[in-house]
Amino acid sequence: MNKITKNFLWGASTSAYQVEGAWNKDGKGLSVQDVSAGGFIKGLNVEDITDFKVASDHYHHYKEDIALMAEMGFKSYRFSINWTRIYPKGIEQEPNQKGVEFYHNLLDELIKHKIEPLVTIHHFDLPNYLEEQGGWKNKDLIVDAYLRYAKTLFNEYKNKVKYWQTINEQNMVVMFGHLLSKQFTGVDNGQESYQMFHNMNVAQAKAILLLKTINKKAKIGVAPNISLVYPQTNKPEDVLAAHNANLIRNWIYIDPFVKGGYDQILLNFWKENNYKIDILEEEMKLFKKAKINFIAFNYYSSMSVKAPTKDQDFKVGDQQMGFNLENMFQSAKNDNLQVSEYGWEIDPIGFRLTARALHDRYNLPIIITENGLGAKDVLTSEGKIHDKYRIDYLRKHIEQIPKIINDGVKLFGYNPWSAIDLVSTHQGISKRYGFVYVNRDEFDLKDMKRYRKDSFYWYQKVIASNGNNID
């Protein structure tokens, strides 16, 4: 039954601003995350949550952290490069050499341990200077800035990196930017959001084409957060709402780079809402040529919806909690699923269904670049972390992998969130995800010592047995 091949990429993920710290070291500029004060939800400041300035201090601990990944048996490590280490403001003509050097060192360390780097070019940490000029809404500025940055990375690391991802969770930035940094303004799920959406697509298309000219052997993919959307009932109106939601939440972020353009239903939606998106013909032509090699996707949960009602409120959720869209769908609770202590629904079968749906629509190799459980871990006086709940969550998802592969889906790796503890996007360091515990609290930085959690030893066994021993 287990058809997982020997070269399956078992590993885990992090992102630069959530793990590195060293926010102002070695010429690094300010990102939108550095100027955000810890946890907040627009209009609701959560003051008891840390900022990202020190995070897990991976910048100074990367050798130790990578050694721990190697000890777990990682075949791959998915991480992102911090744009402001390379281009502090985003507009410089020459990169910051110290930043470039840091990632050379990190990559060398991975290569030394035979861990395949899966590199995300951009993960939520836009240079703040660019944001102040309109960020992703300012097409003229941002497309060039992103391309110059991507070009530097492609040239610098061409002998070290085979797998690139363009932008982490473009869909979450477009739909929930206000949750990811208070610097992201004007995100309204309307005109401005869709202009951002298009500008990001142009930037990604150009980067995809550029990579092929610099390194023919490299592979590149997009990395959205994909949750298959279920209808709450079998009422045709609910099924239609689910179809709409799948399109708006998931597929429109992949379509341009596989199908070569925008879905008619999306174009109709823009028209009905009188959104006038500035799109040039030559930009649409890019999508005909800029093809991805694989789809990286982050999966935490499924989502359920029903037909929209007239009096629906805009539901303030977060990246996994669902949302409403006028005349399209209304978020609904799935009573068949349990939720994590942070309210995220847990749905391992949804993982299989999501993988199948991606395969059906795109027929490309796919890789999981995030999946995991945020929880409040406890460090015991013996230095242990008994995170059985995390093992249970991961086991139930890993159990699906042989089934997914047997379904004919080209799944080539599993990289859950997160390799080590890091600071959550908007819920602090207490919401932990790692296999390795980092000894700090929201405000007390303690000694930053690393401790192996129970899930560390469990995942080590899973990898060593190539997914056969998941007990």
Question: Where on the chain is the footprint of ligand BG6 (CB under 6 A)?
Answer: 15, 18, 168-169, 172, 225, 298, 319, 370, 374, 417, 424-427, 431
Active-site residue set: 370
Q: Residue 302 gets which letter from DSSP? A: -
88 φ/ψ angles, rounded to the nearest 5 degrees: -55, -40
Return the closest-CA partner of residue 368 out of 336, 410, 331. Answer: 410
CA distance 422 to 430: 9
Both structure tokens of 311:
């009096």
CA distance 305 to 255: 22
Note the residue count of the chain: 471
Which is closer to ligand BG6, CB of 18 or CB of 330?
A: 18
Residue at token pair 């469990």: 458
> How would you classify the pairing of strands 294-298 and 366-370?
parallel
Which is closer to ligand BG6, CB of 308 or CB of 374?
A: 374
Return the closest-CA partner of residue 144 out of 156, 129, 130. Answer: 130
Return the closest-CA partner of residue 352 out of 407, 417, 414. Answer: 407
CA distance 422 to 440: 10
Residues 6+ apart with CB under 8 A from 132: none
Q: Mind giving me the DSSP string for 177-210?
A: HHHH-TT-----SSHHHHHHHHHHHHHHHHHHHH
Both structure tokens of 69:
């990944």
Return the closest-CA partner of residue 242 out of 357, 355, 331, 338. Answer: 331
Residues 6+ apart with CB under 8 A from 236: none
**Least spacing, CB of residue 424 vs ligand BG6, in Å:** 3
Q: Are 227 and 301 in contact (CB under 8 A)?
A: yes
Both structure tokens of 197:
């959406």
Both structure tokens of 379:
């460090």
**Least spacing, CB of residue 280 vs ligand BG6, in Å:** 30
Residue number with the smallest Cβ distance to ligand BG6 = 424
Handedness of CA 99, 102, 106, 109 (dihedral sign): positive
Is residue 395 classed as helix, strand or coil in its secondary structure?
A: helix
